């Protein structure tokens, strides 16, 4: 659930080493999610990645156009499970979908959008 993912993210961020804004911090783990090259969200196996995957899965269940777009994008590489893709692939897809006015107004998206923004994902502005 989104609240559980947010709680895990807050705990992870509180215990992670902090770097000055605009710099990355070396936590000894090379698998970090970089959003637009400046925000370090955490290890790819963390709640950050779980949130990206959960958002895409909910979109597949909630929006026919989202689901069709996901199948077109994921079909290029032949892997339809969002968990089998890297964070850059998922973020690119999310940004494309979140730029659609119809998606921005979707009620199901609100908690996911808030959670994504809380972890530092830069998303298209709501209209």
pLDDT digits (tens, 9 = 90+) for 39-77: 434 443 467 888 899 999 999 999 999 999 999 999 998
In a domain, 124, yes or no: no
**83 lies in which domain range?**
2-25+35-118
DSSP state of 26: -
What's the structural domain count of the chain? 1
In a domain, 68, yes or no: yes
Calpha distance 118→76 (Å, rounded): 30
- DSSP annotation string for 83-113: GGS-HHHHHHHHHHHHTSHHHHT-GGGHHHH
What are the tens digits of pLDDT across the range 81-108?
Answer: 999 999 999 999 999 999 999 998 899 9
In a domain, 125, yes or no: no
Higher pLDDT, 6 or 78: 78
Handedness of CA 57, 94, 12, 24 (dihedral sign): positive
Token reading at 76: 């290029």
> What is the pLDDT, as a whole number, of residue 115?
86
Residue 30, pLDDT > 50, answer no
What does residue 42 show for φ and ψ, rounded to 5 degrees? Answer: 135, 175
In a domain, 126, yes or no: no
In a domain, 47, yes or no: yes
* Residue whose entry in the numeric block shows the structure tokens 């994504």: 116
In a domain, 48, yes or no: yes
In a domain, 127, yes or no: no
Calpha distance 49→55 (Å, rounded): 10
The angle at the Cα of 53, spanning 4 to 124, to the nearest 5 degrees, equals: 95
In a domain, 101, yes or no: yes
């Amino acid at each position: 659930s989104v609240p559980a993912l947010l709680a895990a993210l807050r705990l992870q961020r509180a215990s992670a080493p902090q770097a000055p804004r605009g710099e990355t911090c070396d936590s000894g783990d090379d698998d970090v999610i970089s959003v637009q090259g400046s925000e370090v969200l955490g290890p790819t196996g963390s709640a950050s990645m779980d949130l990206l995957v959960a958002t895409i899965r909910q979109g597949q269940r909630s929006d026919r156009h989202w689901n069709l777009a996901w199948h077109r994008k994921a079909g290029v590489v032949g892997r339809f499970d969002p968990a089998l893709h890297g964070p850059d692939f998922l973020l690119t897809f999310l940004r494309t979908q979140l730029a659609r006015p119809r998606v921005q107004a979707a009620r199901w998206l609100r908690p996911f959008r808030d959670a994504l923004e809380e972890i530092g994902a830069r998303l298209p502005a709501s209209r």
